[in-house]
Structure 1
C-alpha cells in the first residue's frame, strides 16, 4: 500500500464505489467489491481499525450469552445471530491462519448443578457449529482445571466446562483486509476525513468532499455509489447525506483492563458467566499479557476517544477476583483500552445489553447513500457480502461473492514452523522469529530481510518484548503507518498491552519513522510529545477517575 500513489488516484480518477470507514466492515466491503470487479476507493479519517475494530475482546465467536438469552427468552433473532457467528467463525480462522487461531476457554462452576447447566448449554453451542473442526466442549474435573489454570481459587472451584472459540489480532486482521483489497486493485488511504458530499441534479451523491489530514489538501473523490461503514459514527455520515434521516446508532462503551500474564498463568482463557449487570466477562491471554473485559454502558460521546477509568477497572477486577487464589494487585495493571459498539436501536429506553449485535443495510432513497449499520467483528464478511449484494442490485449486476475462500495477505501456505528457518537464515532469536511469523505470516521473511544488511534493525524495541526495529521500517514502507501510534497501537500491539513500555520505546520509533518519512527534528518531537501526552492521560484516567 502506497499512500502517495493512492492520493493521486483518489483526486484524479472516477470510482464505482467509495467506501467510508477502514474498520473491519469497510475493509471487508472493499475486498468483496473489488473482487467482484468494481473500481473501489477505501478511505478512513484516521488509521485502519483505529476505533472499534482494534478494541474488541479479540474473540471470534457465535456468542455464548446470545445462545443463553435465546433459550431463556425464546428469542429466535438471538439464535440466528449465534448461527451466523458460528458459520463465519471457521472462515475467519481459515482465511488468515497467521492472525487467527483456536482458543480454549474455561467456564468455572461452583457446583455440579452449575456444571450440568453449562455443559448442556455449551454442547448446544457445539451443535450449532456445524461448519468447523474445533474441538468439542468438555466437562473437566477440578484437578484437570487446575492443571490448566493453576491460579484459580481451589476452595470455590467444583469443576469447569471447557469449550473452544477463535482468537484474532483484530487490528492486524483488519489491516490484512485493507492490504488484500489494495493488492486486488482497490485504492486505499488512511487519514482522509469526509467533510461533506457533492450531488447530481437529482440529489444523488456523486462525490465525497475530503481533506487529507496529513497535508490539509482538500479535494473531491468522484464515485457512482457511496457506502458508509463508519460504525459508531454512521449517523454523522448519514446526516451529511440527508439531514432529515433519524438517528439509528446507539453507541455502547466497552472497556478492557490489561493485567500481567501471571494472573491466570495459562494459555487457556476464562469465561466468567455471571456478573452483577448480567454480562459475561472474559479473561484472555494476548501478546504475553491478559485481557480482562468487557463492560457495557451507554455512551453519547462519539467525538472523544473512549478511555478506561478507575471505576471500570474496579468493576472488572472485582468480577475476576472471587475466582482467583490471590487477589489482583491493582498497581500491576499494565494498560487498558475502550471502544464503542455500533448498536442499532429504535427504542431509547432499551438497555444496550439487550440489543442484538446484528446488522442492517440502509439505502437512503433521497441521497442514494448505502449505510452498513450495526454488526460485530465475527460476522464482518457476511455484513460485507450483504452490503455488496445491495451494490450489485443498484448497479443491475449479479456478481458472485468469493470472499469465503479468499486467503488474506500473509496467509498463503502459512506454516508456523517456518520460524525455525527465519531464526537460522537471519540469526534471529526464537521468540522474535515466532512473533514475526505470527504477525506477517508468509511475509515474515520480508521483514527479516531488512536486517540482513542493517544489523541494528535486529534490535528489540524493548528487552521484554519480541518487537524489533525492522518492523517499524517495514510498516512505514508497506503497511501505510503514518504516525507512531499506527505502529505501536495497531501494527504491533504494545500500546494496548503495556503503556510504560510504549512510552519508553516511543523516541526510538519516532526516530526510525522520521528517517523513513523525512520528518525534521521539530516534527519528530511533536509526534513524541503528542503521543506521550495521550499515554500519560490514559494512565492517569485509569487510576484516578471514577465512573460518571
Structure 2
C-alpha cells in the first residue's frame, strides 16, 4: 500500500471518528430538503410575470441598465437573479431559448462530486477539496430553494470485491463528513441480499455488498427557467430568442474603450435595437469565445468543449427510488443509471467535440452506455438497443483560465475573467455551483464596472418561483379541488410548484366521469393541454421551446413528442396568431429537433438499418413466420409481394375515422421500413422488421403497430359473424 493511500485511509479513519457529530447535526436540518420552510412569501411572488412584449419594450426603451447578461442558461439566469437581488437594474438575452443548451442536457444530478473528493484525498489536493465543499453547500441550497423541482436520491455503488467494501465505505463516509450540516442522509452498507432487494435488476454473480449514499436530483430545464422567472418577477428584463450581433463600446474618463451594451436582434420578428448597460456579462457556456472575440478579435480561445451523451430507457430498467453508480467503466469514465421523470436515464460519456448549437448523439456513445449498463444488470434484463426512447448530447464548456500562468491547463473550477474593455466572462464550473458562479461574476462586475448595489446578494437561501408554501402533499389538493388524475396532479405539482393551481384552473373539462379536467397531450404521459397556454406565458415562442424545456416530452420519448406536436401547434397557432407558413415552419423545426438532437434519427434509421441489414436474415419460428405472412397478406390483397401507401390506407380507413390517419403519416410509416427507398415495403423487409422486433433490436414501430391493429380487427369481424350464425349465442 503506497504512502498516499495510507494517508488517505488515515484521514478517512479520523473523519469517521468525528462523523457522529455531523450526523446528529444533519438531522436538525434535513427536513428542509423535503419541503419548503413555512414562511410568508415575499412580495415579489405576487408580482405578475411581465409578458414577452413588455420585456422586449423594457429592453429597447430603458436608457441604461446596470448589468446586461448574455446567455440564458443556468449561470446566465443565476447572474441576472444575483444582480437584481442587489437592487441593480438587470437585462438578459439569449439567442435561443432559456436552457436550450447544456443546462437542459445534464445528468439531472445535484452533486458535490464523489470523484473529485477521491482525487482530493488521494492527491492531498486542497483545491479539489474546496471545490467539493462548495458544491455540497450549493447542492443543499438548491434542494432548499426549489423543493418542487428537486429532491434527495439514494445512489447505490455495487461492490464485487471484498477489499473494496472498506475502501469505498471510507470514501463515501468522507463525502458525508465534508457535506457537514448539508448531509442529506447518512450513507450505509447493504449486504448482497439487501442490495438485490433494493435493486432487483442488479447482477448478483460475484456481488459482495453495496454502499448507498445520497445526492440530489432535479429537473434541469425547469430549474433553469425557475431561476429566470424569479429574476423577472423581481424586475429583471429577460428575453429569449434575442441574439447579440455586436458589442457596443464607449470611451471612459481615461480614454479607454469599455463595453457599454450590445446591438441585438429579436429573432422572432427581425427587429434590431441597442441595449445600453454599464456592465456586460458573458455567460454563454460553450459559446464563450464567440462573445469574447466580439470584444477582441485577437484574443486566444479558452473553451475546450467536451460532449456528454445520455439516453432514456423505460422505467423497468431501474427501481423508481434508487440510482446506480458505475465508478469505473471499461475506459475509466463514470456512468450513472438513475430513475428520472418516470423513466431511466443513463450516462454520461465524455469526448472532445466541435461547438455547435445543435449537438447530436453518436451511435458509438449510445452503444458504450448500453454495454456498460449490461455489465451491471441481471441476465434476466435484456438490454436492448430498441429500448432507447431518446438520446441527446450536451456540450460541457471546459475552460482554461486566461489569467493563469499555465494557460494550457483545464481549470477544475469556474473562471471569472475581466477583459481590458471590462467585459466580464464567467465560464466553466458545473450545474450545481451555478449560484456561486453567478455571485463571483457579479462581484467582479461591481468591482470593475463601478456599480453601486443597494444591498448585498440575496440568492443564498432565496426560494425560487413556485417553491413557496409547497409541500410534497400539494398534489393531493390539486386532485381533490380540480378533479385531476393523480399522476397529472403530481406532475403539475412537481413541475410548477405553487403555480400549478394556475394550470389546473386553465385545464379543459374532459366530459368524462373521471378525470373531470385535464386533457392529456399523449395518452401515456401526464402532460395536459393547458400547459401549452401556460408555457406561452413562460415565454415559450416555438414548439421546440414547449416540447423540450417547458415540458420534457422530447427528452423522454421522441415518439410521444411527435404525437403531441399537432396539438401543440394548434394551440400556439391560435394564441400567437401564427400564419399557415409559420405553423409549417414550426412543424419542420420541431421534427428536425426530434430527429437530430433527440436521437430519433439514430433510433429509426441507423438502428433499424443495422438491425435489419445486418441481422443475417430472418430469425423467426415457423409459427411466427406463418403468422406474420398472413398479417402482411391482409394488406397485400393482390399478392403483389409488397404493400404501398394505398394498401395501408384502404385497410386503416376502416379502422379509424376519416382524416384521423393522414397521408403524410402513412408515408412516414413506410419510409421507416422501406430500406431500399423504392416507395413500398416488400415481404422480406416486413419479416426482417418483425424478426428484429422479436429480438428487441427495434421497438415501437408504427407500421407494425397499425398492421397488428388491422389484423385484430379482421379477427374480431370473423368472431362476430360466427356468433350471429349460431343464433346470436342463444
TM-score bin (small chain): over 0.9
Aligned to 1:336: 391
Contact kept? 1:148, 1:266, Cα under 8 Å: no
Aligned to 2:35: none
Find the aligned partners of 1:77 and 1:35 in 2 and give their Cα distance: 29
Find the aligned partners of 2:83 and 2:451 in 1 and give their Cα distance: 14
List aligned pairs for 1:26-41, cutoff 5 A: 26-41=76-91
1:327 Cα deviation after fit? 3.5
Among 564, 575, 581, which residue is 1:516 paired with? 575
Normalised by the size of structure 1, how large is the TM-score? 0.95
Structure 2 residue 266 is matched with structure 1 residue 212: yes
1:254 Cα deviation after fit? 0.5
Based on CA coordinates, which of the two structures has the bigger radius of gyration? 2
Find the aligned partners of 2:154 and 2:112 in 1 and give their Cα distance: 14
Among 364, 376, 384, which residue is 1:323 paired with? 376
Aligned to 1:61: 111
Contact kept? 1:109, 1:159, Cα under 8 Å: yes
1:74 Cα deviation after fit? 2.8
Aligned to 1:470: 530
Q: Per-residue displacement from partner, 1:400-434 (whole Å, max 9, x unpaired)?
A: 11101211000001112121111111111111011
Among 363, 378, 393, which residue is 2:418 paired with? 363
List aligned pairs for 1:328-407, cutoff 5 A: 328-345=383-400, 355-365=410-420, 367-394=421-448, 395=450, 397=452, 399-407=455-463
Number of positions where the alignment pairs a residue of Structure 1 with one of Structure 2: 539
Residues 396, 523 of structure 1: alpha-carbon distance in 2 compared, 3 angstrom cutoff? closer
Find the aligned partners of 1:8 and 1:380 in 2 and give their Cα distance: 28
Aligned to 2:544: 485
Find the aligned partners of 2:226 and 2:83 in 1 and give their Cα distance: 16
Contact kept? 1:34, 1:184, Cα under 8 Å: yes
Residues 226, 330 of structure 1: alpha-carbon distance in 2 compared, 3 angstrom cutoff? same
Residues 88, 286 of structure 1: alpha-carbon distance in 2 compared, 3 angstrom cutoff? same
Residues 368, 356 of structure 1: alpha-carbon distance in 2 compared, 3 angstrom cutoff? closer
Among 414, 430, 438, which residue is 2:470 paired with? 414
Find the aligned partners of 1:380 and 1:505 in 2 and give their Cα distance: 32
Among 193, 204, 208, which residue is 1:154 paired with? 204
Flag the structure with more relative contact order, 1 or 2, with Cα contacts below 8 A and sequence separation at least 6. 1
Structure 2 residue 556 is matched with structure 1 residue 497: yes
Q: Secondary structure of the equivalent of 1:462?
A: coil
Find the aligned partners of 1:457 and 1:25 in 2 and give their Cα distance: 37
Find the aligned partners of 1:292 and 1:43 in 2 and give their Cα distance: 32
Aligned to 2:15: none
Find the aligned partners of 2:501 and 2:494 in 1 and give their Cα distance: 12
Find the aligned partners of 1:87 and 1:515 in 2 and give their Cα distance: 45
1:9 Cα deviation after fit? 1.2
Runs of 4+ in 1 over 3 A off after TM superposition: 354-357, 396-399, 452-457
Residues 532, 494 of structure 1: alpha-carbon distance in 2 compared, 3 angstrom cutoff? same
Among 309, 316, 330, which residue is 1:276 paired with? 330
Q: Secondary structure of the equivalent of 1:481?
A: coil
Structure 2 residue 362 is matched with structure 1 residue 309: yes
Say which is worse superposed, 370-379 or 149-158, in terms of deviation: 149-158
Contact kept? 1:149, 1:266, Cα under 8 Å: no
Structure 2 residue 97 is matched with structure 1 residue 42: no
Find the aligned partners of 2:320 and 2:468 in 1 and give their Cα distance: 30
Q: Per-residue displacement from partner, 1:306-365 (whole Å, max 9, x unpaired)?
A: 211210111011111111112301111100111111111369xx9x9x955411110001
List aligned pairs for 1:184-203, cutoff 5 A: 184-201=234-251, 202-203=256-257
List aligned pairs for 1:238-253, cutoff 5 A: 238-253=292-307
Q: Secondary structure of the equivalent of 1:403?
A: coil
Aligned to 1:544: 606
Structure 2 residue 347 is matched with structure 1 residue 293: yes
Find the aligned partners of 2:344 and 2:131 in 1 and give their Cα distance: 27
Find the aligned partners of 1:418 and 1:81 in 2 and give their Cα distance: 35
Find the aligned partners of 1:182 and 1:266 in 2 and give their Cα distance: 35
Structure 2 residue 494 is matched with structure 1 residue 438: yes
Residues 476, 454 of structure 1: alpha-carbon distance in 2 compared, 3 angstrom cutoff? farther
Aligned to 2:47: none
Contact kept? 2:249, 2:261, Cα under 8 Å: yes
Contact kept? 1:18, 1:223, Cα under 8 Å: yes
Aligned to 1:12: 61
Find the aligned partners of 2:244 and 2:535 in 1 and give their Cα distance: 25
1:468 Cα deviation after fit? 0.3
Structure 2 residue 134 is matched with structure 1 residue 89: no
1:452 Cα deviation after fit? 6.3
Q: Secondary structure of the equivalent of 1:206?
A: strand
Find the aligned partners of 2:426 and 2:145 in 1 and give their Cα distance: 22
Normalised by the size of structure 2, how large is the TM-score? 0.72
Structure 2 unmatched ranges of 5 or more:
1-49, 611-730
Q: Secondary structure of the equivalent of 1:131?
A: helix
Say which is worse superposed, 355-364 or 135-144, in terms of deviation: 355-364
Find the aligned partners of 2:280 and 2:577 in 1 and give their Cα distance: 34
Q: Per-residue displacement from partner, 1:444-477 (whole Å, max 9, x unpaired)?
A: 1111011267879721011111000011111112
Find the aligned partners of 1:189 and 1:61 in 2 and give their Cα distance: 30
1:58 Cα deviation after fit? 0.5
Find the aligned partners of 1:457 and 1:516 in 2 and give their Cα distance: 21
Residues 67, 208 of structure 1: alpha-carbon distance in 2 compared, 3 angstrom cutoff? same
Q: Per-residue displacement from partner, 1:76-126 (whole Å, max 9, x unpaired)?
A: 222121111111111010001000100100001102211221111000000
Find the aligned partners of 1:17 and 1:533 in 2 and give their Cα distance: 35
